[in-house]
Chain A
Amino acid sequence: MVNPIYIFVIALFSAFLLPVIDKLGRKVTLGVFYLSLTAIFAVTLLWFRAFGEGALIENIFTAGSLPPFSINLRMGTIEAFIMLFVNFGALLGAIYLYGKLLENKVYALMLFLTLIMGVNGLIMTRDIFNIFVFLEITSISLYALIGIKQDARSLGAGFKYIIAGGLASAFLLLGIIYVYRITGNLNLDLIISENPLLLSKGGLIALFLVVVAFLIELKPWPANGWALDVYEAAEPGISAMVASLVAAGMVFVFYKFIPLLPHSWHGMLILFGMLTFVFSNLTGLKQKNARRLLGYSSIAQMGLLMAVLLLVRRFNDAMDIRYALSDIAAALFVNHFLAKAGLFWLSGIINKEKARDWSFNKQPVLVLLFAVFIFALVGLPPFPGFWAKWTLITKLAQYNMIGWIVPIIIGSLLEAAYLLRWFGATIKREQTEQVIIPRYKILPPLLAAIVLVIIFPSFAPYMTGMKTMFFFPLLAAAVLWLLDVMPERMRGMVMILILAAFGWYIYPLAKGIVLIFEFMFIAGGIVISLASLNSARPKQGYWEFLVMLIMSLALIPLAKSSMEFFLAWEFMTVSSWLLILRGKNGEKPALTYIMFSLGAALLILTAFALSFAETGELGLVLLSNLNIYAIPVYILLALGFLVKAAAMGVHIWLPGAYSEAEDEVTPIFAGMMSKISLWGFILLFGYMGNKVLGIFELPVLLGWIGVFTAFFGALMAVFQEDIKYLLAYSSMSQLGYMILSVSLLSHLGWTTALYMSVTHLFFKGMLFLAVAGIVSRIGTTKMYEMGGLIKKMPASFISVLIAIIAVSGVPPLSGFGGKWLLYTALIEKGWYLQAGLSFFAGAIAFLYLFRLIHTIFLGQLKARFREVKEASLWYIVPQFIFVGAIMAISMFPNLILKPIMAAVETQFPSHVNWDGYTVITALGYWNGNAVMMITMGVFMVPLIWLLVRVNMVQKVEQFNIVYAAERPDRPETTHFAYNFFAHYQKAIGFLVKEQITNFWNSVSEWFHSLSATFRHIYTGNGQTYALHIIIYIVVLYSLLGVK
């Protein structure tokens, strides 16, 4: 096997060779340069493969004698792993810097090589003085490299770095001297073996000095201003190096020292790591400058990594330590390493100071790269970061260090906040003209991204137990993406086919309640997707995300283990977020949406972690036999699902998300995605049943939340002027009913919930599709700008009419069944006041429903819409499929009620009898069929009477109205539509002042101002930074209790 010494040999040799051969021309020099880098990489690669095949750890002793008389280099699995990435990164970085290296002096190349050598050395050496040496080599070459940009700011940054590094190395040297003084030894392993010596008085000080030096090199918050300046000012290529390579070296050195540290220190150090993680992210919130933003993020990641390295020590059995190391630490490391380097490179390519000015000038590949890196950093599946966070949190819960979960969650949310905000803004930025980008600059980030994607299976520890179908969403999306060349409609067809095939595939797996949900998702998805075929204009990424969303929705009910559940959940979140982002002005709502959804996801994740901690298994079934963590898990899950259901208080993401998403997608959100929270509750109640907290029965609380959601949703819908907002609030209200009825925990209750969710899918699909069709024709969503469209769009009118009759629950249509079941169930259960309030909510629904149909279809037709045509068939057909469905289940309620009841009977005993078409409960009875017949009968009689005399009827036009003996001036002033329920506003409008929205706004405001205050510590002044470092050391010193 190649001796790792050669790494240094190659580096040094070519470094000294370069100036000589530079006479032959820079091209040659670069050739040699790249050749040597490749060689180094090759060596590490070989070693890595070797360890893969189970080679033994190799120790190299210089000067052929044993320590303490020699320097000991070690090449082990971990070393090889780290070095593999380091040298890979080095190679890529060098490629990226090609341009710079071409025009700069040859010393840049030499410095680069020495830097690489230094980092490799830091990783391999086991001799602490040697560590110091390598540290110096690294740092010095780095100062110089930072300077190659040759402008004031980068030089200044380099100088600040020198100050900080100087301080660090000074402390390090002192520490090393002390250590040598105490242990009489410089070899790390020997020192570790003589650890007790170090635990003496002086020893601790020595250790402290060493540790603190590396801490500073790890740029802990807040003593890291200098590093930020470096990230910001230096040439992006170099910043990438700093953020990835050097950081990797430092972290590894810190890792080497961990065995020396007394356990009493761990807690404090973890705390400092976490602080760095949380507060750097917090400070990042308000950051405008792209590279500085990245700087914050990488510092945060370093903090997390450091904390994790210490945390895993606490996993008390060795198996777990290795496990955790290989999963969490390594995953975090790789994730950060590649993503951050890639982002810095991108920042170099795009070359815009402010993060807000970023835009990918019509270069899809850049978009893709950006997406990959950002998602990886945020920790979305399938990237390593996701698995890392999952494993970390589950492990923490398992070794009941639950306290540490909190900062991790907060930090991750903050990081997600600014990264995703940045992503959204950048995607929505208008695309200016295309600029030429040198190929060699694209290559490194591209490779990094590819590695990031293909590497994830090796970090997915639970995938062994997981069904592959949980990756189908990704697969389908990828397939559709590859079919991008096809005409748009064709792709749509393919997408629908994929859905159908998927449905056929999962059909055998689903039964009972699950089957009902699958039916809603797959069948509903297919029908609604038809509408998206209406236009042939290319839709970037539309079908991909759509199929991903629907498939992940369909997968969630099939999840057996919490891992599967959470994975599908995350897929759903991401795809729906991207779909919202595609909307015309979807930027802000998308951000709100993703923040709330991620919050919910993390709550759910914590809950699962807790259950894992207690049961040690991931199966969802085990939720049922929790007892210690039962209440917290219950509450966490409930909260998570409430957020997803947009219940009262956490609903503010909903209107924006539904309304700003494209018109064809909204029905899928409102009709299908909202139901997943219902499934969540069914899961929760199904496994955990009823739980009592203090004097409160939690389901009762949930029921109240549900009924208030229903009430306020309806009330807010009444006062909307924008039709999509109106429908969005109405969906919220409907969800409220479902939450209410599902938390009844009775046979009738669940029947109600399922019945409602199916019918709700039907009529919400109709309504949103009809609206989509109308908007596509007249191009406005403001209701008062419409009016009189019944003459132009009769088909849409019919479907809307049917829909609102169904929504409002007026017999004979199916909606009444829902209402009837609801009240019967509520009264049966004894929830009387809830019944009253929900009845009120149901009555209020009439207001917005009538407003909806009146202001759009009735009243006065505007002059500019006199030529409008009926909406395109692509919208009409799905609507009428739904119309048919509603008619069918109104005529024959058995069609849907019987299966639902049968499905629910597996959970609760049924008290319902059937007599022909009559449903008979303990309280009352309902014969949908007879009602339908009688209604038709009584409808016919007067109709015939009118038709007999129809010949005397004169058809008149819209202005032939009694108008106080005047003639109407123009339709706009005659159509009564704006502020339709002004008196209602006057009467009880005060109930829906925007208190909740204001609350959440102030929350985000708080975080931002907090971040603003913390930013003030970074004055950009070298002395101040030095002072920070000193203070930091003092504080740490006192806190660690070193005497």
Chain B
Amino acid sequence: MEHGLLISIIYAFISLSVATIWGLLLGGIMMKVVARAHGRFGPPFWQPIIDIIKNNARRTSISHGIMYFLGPVFRIAGGMGTFLFIPFIYGSMVFGNFSFAGDLFLVMYFIFFGQLGMALGAGESGHPYSAIGVARGLSQMTAFELPFALSIISIVIQYGTLNITSIVAAQQGGILHWTLFTNPLATIAALIALQGMNMHNPFSIVIAPQEIPIGPPTEYHSNFLGLLQTNRGLFNIAKLALFMNLYFGGATNLFSMLIKTFGIYMITVIVGASFPRFRTEQSIRFFLGVPTVIGILAVLVTGYF
């Protein structure tokens, strides 16, 4: 830590709020985009923010118990933590976050923190759909973590470090230095895994509204739901930032961050708009199939040749 605790906390707060708002707006923009694709007007792009205010403005709420109460807290803490361990903008003091605390593996494992807590909270609500949704989500998670991990290993081999900042540093200077071009196999594997992480179609098996409305958060509402939605935006940005840093040369300033995250998220949206939903076992098989093979190839290519 090169500067005082208070300062770094303030910085963290700034970058958190920027990320959250951008994440929410991104969600809204995407809704708008999809709507235009349908030939609709669609909701205003700040709709997610209104929803969050609305949910926090609810007058009543119920609690099924301590763990249920803490579930959303775990979730958003996971989101915030994951975000804070990622250097958001390369070389920026404010958006550097707490990346000194740990490296890539820390981020990868901290992603689970929120999911685990949320799963526990949803579990205590006692609603069978919650449990089913969690079971599906965890199963899918194991599946897409495999290609993702392989891809990560591949780029760690490539750059010989686990330190995200130095991975970004290695990609500076020209678009052709990006992992996207220097290690395309790993990038492809990771991007497919990202679709699973974002849980849009065809991988929206967790909150499949037609099957298990709406999965884990069935019992969540009011300000609990508000927290969850806030986290949706934040966590989304965290993932995008991670991918941006690892595969798309990171961001040297706010603007390029906006562009890149938008671009990466666009992939998810296009895929989501164009495919129907998998069944759970199909999705698992899918991730263990082609993406895994690509990941293994990536590791072999970078590691052994």
Touching in the complex, A and B, CB below 8 A? Answer: yes
Interface flags, A195-229, vs B, CB<8A=1, else 0: 00000000000000000000000000000000000
In the complex, are the beta carbons of B70 and A859 less than 8 A apart?
Answer: no
- Give every chain A residue within 8 A of B128 (Cβ-Cβ): 974-976
- Give every chain B residue within 8 A of A926 (Cβ-Cβ): 101-103, 105-106
CB of A938 closer than 8 Å to a CB of B: yes
Query: Known contacts A839-B149, A860-B126, A934-B98: does B157 contact A987 (CB below 8 Å)?
Result: no
In the complex, are the beta carbons of A801 and B77 less than 8 A apart?
Answer: no
Interface 9-residue window, one of B22-30, B110-118, B257-265: B110-118
Interface 9-residue window, one of A125-133, A939-947, A1025-1033: A939-947
CB of B52 closer than 8 Å to a CB of A: no
Query: Known contacts A941-B80, A946-B72: does B105 contact A924 (CB below 8 Å)?
Result: yes
Interface flags, B99-137, vs A, CB<8A=1, else 0: 011111110011011001001100111111001101110
In the complex, are the beta carbons of A836 and B149 less than 8 A apart?
Answer: yes
In the complex, are the beta carbons of B126 and A939 less than 8 A apart?
Answer: no
In the complex, are the beta carbons of B123 and A924 less than 8 A apart?
Answer: no
CB of B285 closer than 8 Å to a CB of A: yes
Query: Known contacts A840-B145, A846-B142, A953-B61: does B101 contact A946 (CB below 8 Å)?
Result: no
Docked Cα-Cα span, A851 to B116, in Å, equals 11
- Give every chain B residue within 8 A of A974 (Cβ-Cβ): 126, 128
Interface size class of B (residues with CB under 8 A): 35 or more
Among A788, A809, A854, find the residue whose CB has the most chain B CB atoms closer than 10 A: A854
In the complex, are the beta carbons of B116 and A808 less than 8 A apart?
Answer: yes
CB of B156 closer than 8 Å to a CB of A: yes
From A823, A860, A946, A975, contact of B69 by CB (8 A)? A946
Min CB gap A828→B, angstroms = 10
CB nearest to B152 among chain A residues: A839
In the complex, are the beta carbons of B127 and A846 less than 8 A apart?
Answer: no
- Give every chain B residue within 8 A of A941 (Cβ-Cβ): 77, 80
Interface flags, A945-967, vs B, CB<8A=1, else 0: 11001001111101111110000
CB nearest to B64 among chain A residues: A956
Interface 9-residue window, one of A161-169, A275-283, A977-985: A977-985
Min CB gap B251→A, angstroms = 22
In the complex, are the beta carbons of A824 and B162 less than 8 A apart?
Answer: yes
In the complex, are the beta carbons of B126 and A859 less than 8 A apart?
Answer: yes
Question: Could you tell me which residues of chain B, from 166 to 208, have a CB within 8 Å of some CB in chain A?
Answer: none
From A854, A930, A983, contact of B281 by CB (8 A)? A983
Among B64, B74, B279, find the residue whose CB has the most chain A CB atoms closer than 10 A: B64
Chain A's interface: helix, strand, loop or mixed, by majority? helix
In the complex, are the beta carbons of A832 and B153 less than 8 A apart?
Answer: yes
Query: Known contacts A830-B303, A924-B162, A930-B100: does B139 contact A820 (CB below 8 Å)?
Result: no
In the complex, are the beta carbons of B113 and A811 less than 8 A apart?
Answer: yes
In the complex, are the beta carbons of B146 and A847 less than 8 A apart?
Answer: no
Q: How many interface residues does A have (CB within 8 Å)?
A: 74
In the complex, are the beta carbons of A823 and B100 less than 8 A apart?
Answer: no
Question: Could you tell me which residues of chain A, from 808 to 836, have a CB within 8 Å of some CB in chain B?
Answer: 808-811, 816, 819-820, 823-824, 827, 830, 832-833, 835-836
- Give every chain A residue within 8 A of B123 (Cβ-Cβ): 850, 853-854, 858-859
Docked Cα-Cα span, A708 to B218, in Å, equals 38
In the complex, are the beta carbons of A819 and B296 less than 8 A apart?
Answer: no
- Give every chain B residue within 8 A of A924 (Cβ-Cβ): 102-105, 161-163
Query: Known contacts A805-B116, A833-B296, A836-B295: does B64 contact A843 (CB below 8 Å)?
Result: no
In the complex, are the beta carbons of B142 and A847 less than 8 A apart?
Answer: yes
In the complex, are the beta carbons of B73 and A827 less than 8 A apart?
Answer: no
In the complex, are the beta carbons of B77 and A925 less than 8 A apart?
Answer: no
- Give every chain B residue within 8 A of A827 (Cβ-Cβ): 153, 156-157
Min CB gap A988→B, angstroms = 7
In the complex, are the beta carbons of A942 and B76 less than 8 A apart?
Answer: yes
Query: Known contacts A854-B119, A859-B126, A923-B156: does B105 contact A819 (CB below 8 Å)?
Result: yes
- Give every chain A residue within 8 A of B105 (Cβ-Cβ): 819-820, 823-824, 924, 926
CB nearest to A989 among chain B residues: B281
Min CB gap A788→B, angstroms = 7
Docked Cα-Cα span, A963 to B139, in Å, equals 24
CB nearest to A815 among chain B residues: B109
Question: Could you tell me which residues of chain B, from 47 to 69, have a CB within 8 Å of some CB in chain A?
Answer: 59-67, 69
Min CB gap B236→A, angstroms = 17
In the complex, are the beta carbons of A816 and B106 less than 8 A apart?
Answer: yes
In the complex, are the beta carbons of B84 and A810 less than 8 A apart?
Answer: no
In the complex, are the beta carbons of B102 and A939 less than 8 A apart?
Answer: no
- Give every chain B residue within 8 A of A805 (Cβ-Cβ): 116
Q: Which 3 A-B pairs have the closest CB atoms?
A: A924-B162, A858-B123, A924-B103
Where the two chains meet, the residues of B that have a C-beta atom closer than 8 Å to any C-beta of A are 9, 59-67, 69-70, 72-74, 76-77, 80-81, 84-85, 98, 100-106, 109-110, 112-113, 116, 119-120, 123-128, 131-132, 134-136, 138-139, 141-143, 145-146, 149-150, 153-154, 156-157, 160-163, 218-219, 223-224, 227, 279-281, 284-285, 288, 295-296, 299-300, 303-304
Can you identify 25 A-B contacts, CB atoms within 8 angstroms?
A: A811-B109, A824-B162, A832-B299, A840-B145, A846-B138, A847-B138, A847-B142, A850-B123, A850-B134, A850-B135, A854-B134, A858-B123, A924-B103, A926-B102, A931-B101, A935-B77, A938-B81, A941-B80, A962-B127, A962-B218, A977-B131, A983-B139, A983-B279, A987-B284, A988-B284
Apart from the given pairs A824-B105, A941-B80, A984-B284, 9 other A-B contacts in the complex at a CB distance below 8 Å: A846-B141, A850-B123, A851-B135, A923-B160, A924-B102, A926-B106, A927-B100, A934-B84, A987-B285
